[in-house]
Amino acid sequence: MIPSLETLIANHRLSQVHGLRVLTDCVDYPDVDQVFPMYPEQPFFLEELAKIGGAAGAEVLEIGLGSGVLSIGALKTGAKRVTALEINPRAKLFAGFNALINGVTQGLAIIDGDREDLWRPVRGRRFDLVISNPPFMPSPPGQEHYFHSGGGDLLGMDFLDTICRELDAHLMPNGKALIVTAAPGDDRLPTAFIDVIERRLSGGARLIVDPIKFSFDVVKHHTPDGVADATMRHLGGQLKQRGLTHEHLCVLHYEKTGSGLTVEQSEPHAAWDEPLPA
Ligand SMILES: C[S@@+](CC[C@H](N)C(=O)[O-])C[C@H]1O[C@@H](n2cnc3c(N)ncnc32)[C@H](O)[C@@H]1O
């Protein structure tokens, strides 16, 4: 039987993000292909996109489409086209649905992502704007639940590192990138992200950091049952060695033609380890 629209929505989670309606899985959806609910990271990204005047006329690449909210935001602010990579078939369905209910019927080209070689599907192509909210969950071996949202290593930074490694090669000469993520650091700054920027990017970077940060003592409660202890034992050792104590929510503005790195604070968003109200 085909469910009514009301039943469909009641069985999932419908959030409002700066005027966009976004259907996702519920927080407690148990399977590995969960389409993540909205968190303060999505409004944070959309606010920073608005501050650069949106995506007017841009050929955009999104890495990690998920619910589609960032791509839809880019198209709503004038992007010519968004090419979006995703490995989770369920997310592609939700993103298409979300595009339609937000009045986006053209301009979104969803392409299969590649688990092993992130950039392969678009290698040789260049974009005006690359956007992403990359998987950033710490992902030790054997951790299944956050399969699509694990950052690829214990600290969750490998995916971001892989994006940054080939970012310049996929940007037009005046190209830009806008990346929202949570990243480990000390009690003031996301130092692990700053390290990636300094090692991988040669253009100009402006890192906007939310003042609300979480110590890893809190973050541990959000790791899946059964691996939380093992995760934290591993993580704890590594963190100590590297002086990493907190997780910070931040947005990177990157300009290929620019130079240097500046760090600024944003207005505080709601506690960003809790989903936005449905
Ligand atoms: C943190 S979620 C962000 C989703 C969405 N952009 C948002 O902000 O709600 C990261 C997304 O990246 C996708 N992903 C993981 N590995 C990928 C890959 N190799 N290529 C493309 N997408 C990938 C995941 O399936 C997930 O949907």
pLDDT in tens, 53-77: 999 999 999 999 999 999 999 999 9
Q: With b meaning 16 or more CB within 10 Å and e meaning fewer, what string describes 174-213?
A: ebbbbbbbbbbbeeebbbbbbbbbeebbebbbbbbbbeeb
Confidence of residue 226 (pLDDT cuts 50, 70, 90): very low
Query: Does the model's pTM come out above 0.85?
Result: yes
Mean pLDDT of 180-194: 94
CATH T-level fold of 38-265 = Rossmann fold (3.40.50)
Tell how far the Cα of 57 is from the centroid of ligand 1, in angstroms.
Answer: 24
**Residue 38 alpha carbon, nearest atom of ligand 1:** 9
Which residues approach ligand 1 with their CB closer than 6 A? 36, 42, 63-67, 69-70, 85-88, 91, 113-115, 118, 133, 135, 148-149
DSSP code, position 37: P
- Reported confidence tier of residue 32, pLDDT bands at 50, 70, 90: confident
Residue 208: what pLDDT?
98
| C-alpha triplet 153, 47, 67: angle, nearest 5° | 55
What's the pLDDT at 28? 84
Higher pLDDT among residues 239 and 14, named by residue: 14
Q: Is the pLDDT of residue 98 over 80?
A: yes
The separation between CA 227 and the C-alpha centre of its own chain, rounded to angstroms, equals 23
Mean pLDDT within 230-235: 62
Tell me the percentage of the chain whose pLDDT exceeds 90: 68
Atom 4 in ligand 1: which residue has the minimum CA distance?
Answer: 66
Taking 90 as the threshold, does the pLDDT of residue 181 lie above it? yes
Position 220 pLDDT exceeds 70: no
Q: How confident is the model at residue 278 (pLDDT cuts 50, 70, 90)?
A: confident
In this prediction, residue 219 carries a pLDDT of 56
Q: Residue 220 corresponds to which amino acid?
A: K
pLDDT at 237: 66
Please check whether residue 147 is in contact with residue 224, taking contact to mean a CB–CB distance below 8 angstroms.
no
1-5, 165-169, 235-239, 267-271: lowest mean pLDDT where? 235-239
**Tens digits of per-residue pLDDT, 141-157?**
555 445 556 555 666 78
Cα–Cα distance for residue pair 113/92, rounded to 1 Å: 11
* Residue 83 alpha carbon to ligand 1 centre in Å: 13
Q: 44, 49, 87, 145: which to mutate for ligand 1, most atoms within 8 A of CB?
A: 87
Q: What is the structure's pLDDT at 29?
A: 86
pLDDT at 103: 98
1 Cα to the center of ligand 1, angstroms: 31
pLDDT (average), residues 37-61: 97
Q: Which residue owns the Cα nearest ligand 1 atom 1?
A: 135
- Fill in the amino acid letter for 258: G
CA angle centred on 239, ends 237 and 242, rounded to 5°: 110
